[in-house]
Chains A and B, each alone.
Chain A
């Protein structure tokens, strides 16, 4: 687990990476810089993931494969794990979460998040 998180945090501008249980919002593994409250990010990201899933189902887009929330002081990037086919219904699985600087290379982080998600699920 930690090697996959290593690969994510190695990307320049990434301040932390976590695996989060999507159902109960609890940290499964984390590698975070100081000052990031992992349990809070995990709980709120999982809650958001549930709501987003419902929004996307309603919009007919299918389950989300990646989301990117850009803030002024940073960015939150998430890849919901689990195969698309089961993601929509069960909602089971893991979220791979990265917290990054605002000017991070989004494409690179996304690639590492997807790789990490594949490695686990």
Chain B
């Protein structure tokens, strides 16, 4: 990724939740970026379905200075999407695609096979939850 001079990268689930990130400074910005990116992936996939096409592999937008690249692939336990934002000055779509192919291959290789054993949250979870909700929502 550093080789491709990419500024920001997100790996996300189809529901818009972030699995891995790099380059973003605030968690909340990551969340809205992921929600929007997942929406684009979902709507282009739906558009493809309605046009009876196989899902699009990738999507690229370029502005005067930055470009972004959005692609999704299927791993062992479902599909994942990658959003990358890059500088046109120091990088290019070709480089980002190259980096993406490597990343997708590594993620596929690293994704756990089958189901993982369920882990259980602590017993005091419920009490702390109630406290937290009361604090935040003030009731």
- Please report A residues at the B interface, Cβ cutoff 8 Å: 20-21, 23-27, 39-40, 42-44, 46-47, 50
Contacts and interface: CB of A to CB of B under 8 A. Distances in A.
User: Which range contains the number of B residues in contact with the other chain?
Assistant: 10 to 19
Contacts of B93: 24-26
Contact of B91 (A21, A42, A47): A47
A39 B92 contact: no
Interface in B81-118: 88-95, 97-98, 101
User: 5 closest Cβ contacts across the A-B interface?
Assistant: A25-B94, A43-B94, A25-B92, A24-B93, A43-B95
Contacts, number: 40
Interface of B: 62, 88-95, 97-98, 101
Contacts of B97: 26, 39, 43
A110 B101 CA distance: 32
Contacts of A44: 95, 98
A46 B95 CA distance: 9
